[in-house]
Amino acid sequence: MAPRRPKGAGAFPKPVESPAPNPPDPNALYAALDLGTNSCRMLIAQPKGSQFHVVDSFSKSVQLGHGLERTGRLSRASMRRTVSALRVCQQKIERHGVRRMRLIATEACRRAQNARDFIRAVRRETSLELEIIQPEEEARLAVISCAPLVSTKTEQLLVVDIGGGSTELVWIDLSSVPRRDRPAAIMRLHAGFHPPESPFPAAKVVDWISVPLGVATLRDQFSDVEDDSARYALMSWFFEENLSEFAPYKDVQAREGFQVVGTSGTVTTVAASHLGLRRYDRTKVDGLRMTSDQIDAVIRSYLEMGPAGRRRDPRIGQDRQALIMSGAAILQALLRLWPTDRLSVADRGLREGLLYAQMSADGVLEDGPL
C-alpha cells in the first residue's frame, strides 16, 4: 500500500528555519536543489515582487536510483555520478555567494539502505548538506510550485507530480474560495496542508497520496516483459491499482470546474510532442492546456513508433525513450479515472516549491497576484 498521511496527522513542519536577518534582505539569493531518482536539478534565484528571478540553474541526469529496485542500495557508480554533479552545484553556490538554501533528496534516498552513508559522502566531498524529505512534504512542494497555473475558474484541482521513484497526487477543493483568490490560496499551503486559522479563504486538501512508483521504478517492475505494447498496458493498469486508497478515486467529476496540473518530464515531453516542437521551448510548454484526447493521441503515436522510433524522435531522445512509456502509462491511468479538458502542463516542480517556501518564510515576497 502506498504511504500516505496518517489520519488525524497535524500540519507539516515549517519548510525552513529562516536564517534571514530582521528585516529580511529582498536582494538575497536563494538556492533550491532537488536530487531525485533520475536527476539532479538546482535553481539559484532572487525574490522579485510576488515571484522570483532565476539567476543560475543546473540539471543533469545522474540515475542515482539505477539498480535500486533490485539491490535495495545505491550503487557505487550511481553515487560517483551524483557526487560529480553535486560538485558543480556547490561551485555555483559558492560563486554566487548564496547563503540561503535548501537541498533535498527524495525517493531513491528514502528507500536505499545505504542512503545515510551516501549523505555523509556528499557532505565530505562537496560540503553540501542534503536533507531527505518525506513524501508529504514532497507533495506540498509540488502543489505550491504550480500555484500560478491554477485557473480562477477551477473548483476541484488535482496536482500530479510524476517523479523518477514516486508519484504524488493531491486533490484540493477550491469551491469555497473566491475566484480571484484561488491561486493565492494554493500558495498559502506552503505553511502546511492543514494551516492554522487565517483571515484568508482557505484551500481544502481533500486527500493526498504518494505512490512509490515513478518512471524508473514502474519501468523496472516490468522490465522482463518484451512486447512494448503489452508492457505499457501492464504498467498503466498496475499503477491504477495502487490508487485504490486515494479518497477521490471513484468520484466522477464534471469536466467543468475541474483542472489537473501535471508536473514532470513526462508531461512536458508529451506537450512538446503535441506542439510538434523540434527543439524544446519552455515558454511554449509551461502553462499549456491539453485535453485527454490530445494526450491519448500523443501516447498512441509513441506506441506506433516503438523503441527505435522513440530514440530517434528529437522530443524524446536516447536517454528518455525507456522512461517516457512508464510515465505515459501513469498519465493515461490518471486520465482514465479523471478525464479532463484542462490538463495544465507545468515545467516546474520541487525546486520552485522550495524557493517559494523559503522566500515566503523569510517574508521577502510581495503580496499580490501570482
Sign for the CA dihedral angle at 211, 334, 182, 178 comes to: negative
Residue 248 has what pLDDT?
75
The one-character DSSP state at 6 is P
304 in any annotated domain: yes
Pair 204, 110 in one domain: no
> Do 271 and 175 sit in the same domain of this protein?
yes
Q: Alpha carbon 41 to chain centroid distance?
A: 12
* Residues 347, 295 share a domain: yes
> pLDDT tens per residue, the chain (370 residues)?
444 543 333 333 344 444 444 555 667 899 999 999 989 999 999 998 888 999 999 999 899 998 888 899 999 999 999 999 999 999 999 999 999 999 999 999 999 999 999 999 999 999 999 999 998 899 899 999 998 899 888 999 999 999 999 999 999 999 999 998 888 888 888 777 876 676 777 889 989 999 999 999 999 899 899 999 999 999 999 999 998 888 775 565 556 788 999 998 899 999 999 999 988 899 999 999 999 999 999 999 999 999 999 988 888 877 777 799 999 999 999 998 888 888 999 998 899 999 988 988 888 887 654 4
Strand pairing report for 30-35 and 100-105: parallel
Chain CA centroid to CA 242, Å: 19
Element spanning 238, H or E? helix 228-241
Tell me how far the alpha carbon of residue 168 is from its chain's centroid. Answer: 8
Q: Does residue 315 form part of some domain?
A: yes
Q: How many CB atoms lie within 10 A of CB 66?
A: 20
Domain boundary, last residue among 105, 133, 161: 133
Q: How many domains does the chain have?
A: 2
d(CA 73, CA 145): 30
Q: Which amino acid is at 137?
A: E
Structural domain boundaries, residue 273: 136-351
- Of the candidates 188, 135, 160, 107, the residue with the CA atom closest to the CA atom of residue 6: 135
Predicted local confidence at residue 368, as pLDDT: 52
The pLDDT, as a whole number, for residue 253 is 57
| Residue at 11 is within a domain | no
- Kindly list the distances between the CA atom of residue 54 and the CA atoms of 103, 116, 208, in Å, as whole numbers in the listed order: 16, 31, 30
Say if 359 falls within a structural domain.
Answer: no
- What is the chain's alpha carbon radius of gyration, rounded to the nearest angstrom? 20
Alpha carbon 2 to chain centroid, angstroms? 17
Q: Quick one: 263 and 340 in the same domain?
A: yes
CATH number of the domain within which 269 lies = 3.30.420.150
Co-location of 98 and 205 in the same domain: no
What is the pLDDT, as a whole number, of residue 14? 41
Q: Residue 94 is part of a domain; what is its CATH number?
A: 3.30.420.40
Residues 293 and 162 in one domain: yes
d(CA 135, CA 147): 19
Residues 246, 177 within the same domain: yes
